[in-house]
Chain A
Amino acid sequence: MKILTEHESKKLLAKYGIPVTREAVARSREDALSLACEIGFPVAMKISSPDIAHKNAAGCVLLDVGKQDVDASFETIVANAKKHAPDARIDGVLVQEMVPRGTEIVIGIKCDSQFGHAVMFGLGGVFVEVLDDVTFRIVPLTKLDAIEMTEEIKGRSILAGCDVGAIVSTILKVSEMAAKEMIFELDINPLIACEMGVVAVDARAIFKG
């Protein structure tokens, strides 16, 4: 089982044309500051480690970080990560653009023993498992399959103000990715959808072998 970091996972998404946040991994405080200046303030800062799945719960995500707080944020995130998981491999701190508010969606992949790869779509965010409002289709999906998925979740009315076309196109790109890559499981959570377009804000890909 090989688990990709958020940043590596998003590089994979970008390869399939899925919009992702502008971001880079900072190895040091100085690095973080110069990256943040390039990206533009405020930024989001998160730990970059394949071993920490629930970054938020570990205190390893800080949002709306301003210029004067970059140094301290870097230290806090690394310290919290070490406290949470002393043996975790740490690549550095991911510095990322802040994405405007929108609807939080989850799109995922699961490899099933009978049907092969399946794509999941539903309401995302930190409460994804509590909301439990998701639906599946087997790869490869048709455009009609993807449209139906957006129409059949219980919370479909929440999507009313979103760019449903961009959501549908993302579902299809994920289907294409599932067909081509040896993915075991994938979460894009959240994919933020607004009036115009979508952007993958967090992602986690797990490969077989």
Chain B
Amino acid sequence: MLSNVLEPDSIAVIGASSNREKWGYRILDNIISGGYLREVYPVNPNEDEVLGMRCYPSVLDLPHRVDLGIIAVPAGSVPTVLEECGRIGVRGVVIVSAGFSEVGNSELENRVRDIARDYKMRMIGPNTFGFINTHLHLNASIIPQMPEKGGISFVTQSGTFGLALVDWAASQQMGLHLVVGVGNKADVDDSDILAYLSADRHTKTIMMYIEGIERGRRFIDVASRIRKPVLALKAGRSRAGSKAALSHTGSLAGTDRIYDGAFKQAGVIRAGTLEELFDSALALALSISPPAGSGIGIISNGGGASILAADLCEDLGLHLPDLSDDTVRMLKDVLPVIATPANPLDTAGDGSYEMFKDVTEIILSDRSINALLVIYVHAEMVDPCLPAEAVIDARRGCDKPVITSWIGGKSIGAAVKRLEENRIPNYPLPERAVVALNNLVRYKRILQKR
């Protein structure tokens, strides 16, 4: 059961250390400073006390059986420590230690995996940064920061890059539930985590950073049954197939293309860039429901930005429907004479509360519009908070996704904060908003297929 690992009632940190340079110190320190309220025991035969807590020479000496063992000892000592965990009935382990298949030592990794299986312990790693469960206030990782609580769960293949991504996500005020570094995936792999997240009540959106998938067909089978959005960024996009191939198919079959097909079958939304991964996860996590169709409405107080957005919509295959006669009539009543009641809609420079509230409400009421992008281009005369409040108010009671792009510098900071507080996904550039919107529509199509 992965829940024993990811939602433990008690933890032993094996290799806990007073030396601030060591992972065994950082993990224990993170667990304590993260505010984990359940039992934690440091284990290390060379220490009496770590971070003011009594340290036990071995897990065999612990006063109680623990759910989770976090192992941060040198690779060569892992088998012994793992045996001991097995003997006292530890239910799962996270092996932070490095020095296994990633440096060519597959033999040691297989040995460790076999021990874990013999004792029926699930094992994450080796060579992982650990994991974070924000809802348990548990930072069982070497990541120095606890992210905001939220509905996005992030699964990433280990390595410095994965670590930096998590740190970045945390600084983005992106609400996260679970962050897991899968490491070398000797036992628990991406599919296992996906299956767990599928049933996890806190997880609303799943975000993955993948370097490689080993049991490909199983990944497709698991992912295609999940009724939550799954976004993935796959590193290594080389299109080249094998030059030595004996057929056209062989030479055209680059790894990237195979992954492309597999992700489509799995119903996984493939992001092309990190920016797309994070932006889209935000939009998917904050939207109450995906758009009912691909009809997009665009509102802006400045023509240029909305035309850029409309162009990109067309490139991505999003539809900008004509507005209904009723909508046009209502718009004519509120718009300045020089403005045209059309989609995309340009308010001819009017960024007032009343204008933004009226046009947002009217366009949202049009039946052919399934999602709305509101762009505000900052002009010095207007308080950018006013149109933001207008969108917040106009959207109330409507379940069509509304996303925004407030364009400007420091002076729009307070407005952006208001949008964030009201769970409206906001992007500093309209193109980024459109890419995120497109992935909302892609998710809707995936749901329709199931």
- A residues near B (Cβ < 8 Å) are 1, 3, 53, 106, 108-110, 112, 114-116, 118, 120, 122, 128-129, 132, 134-138, 141, 144-145, 148, 184-187, 189, 204, 206
Contacts and interface: CB of A to CB of B under 8 A. Distances in A.
Interface stretch (B135-143, B208-216, B285-293): B208-216
A138 B248 contact: no
B348 interface: no
Interface residues of B, number: 26
Contacts of B246: 1, 3, 53, 184-185, 204, 206
Contacts of A145: 264-265
Nearest to B261: A136
Interface string B210-227: 001111110010000000
Contacts, number: 91
Give 6 closest A-B pairs by Cβ, nearest first: A108-B249, A115-B216, A136-B261, A110-B253, A185-B247, A187-B247
A136 B257 contact: yes
Given A134-B252, A185-B247, A206-B247, A116 B264 contact: no
Contacts of A204: 246-247
Given A116-B217, A138-B217, A110 B249 contact: yes
Nearest to A128: B248
A108 B248 contact: yes
Contacts of B264: 137, 145, 148
User: Does more than half of chain B's interface fall in helix, strand or loop, or is it mixed?
Assistant: helix
A115 B259 CA distance: 9
Given A138-B220, A185-B246, 20 more contacts: A1-B246, A106-B249, A108-B247, A108-B250, A108-B253, A112-B253, A112-B255, A112-B258, A114-B214, A115-B220, A128-B248, A134-B257, A135-B260, A136-B260, A138-B262, A184-B246, A186-B249, A187-B247, A187-B249, A204-B247
Contact of A129 (B212, B215, B248, B265): B248
A115 B258 contact: yes
A120 B217 contact: no
B258 A118 contact: yes
Contacts of B257: 134-136
A135 B259 CA distance: 11
Contacts of B217: 115-116, 138
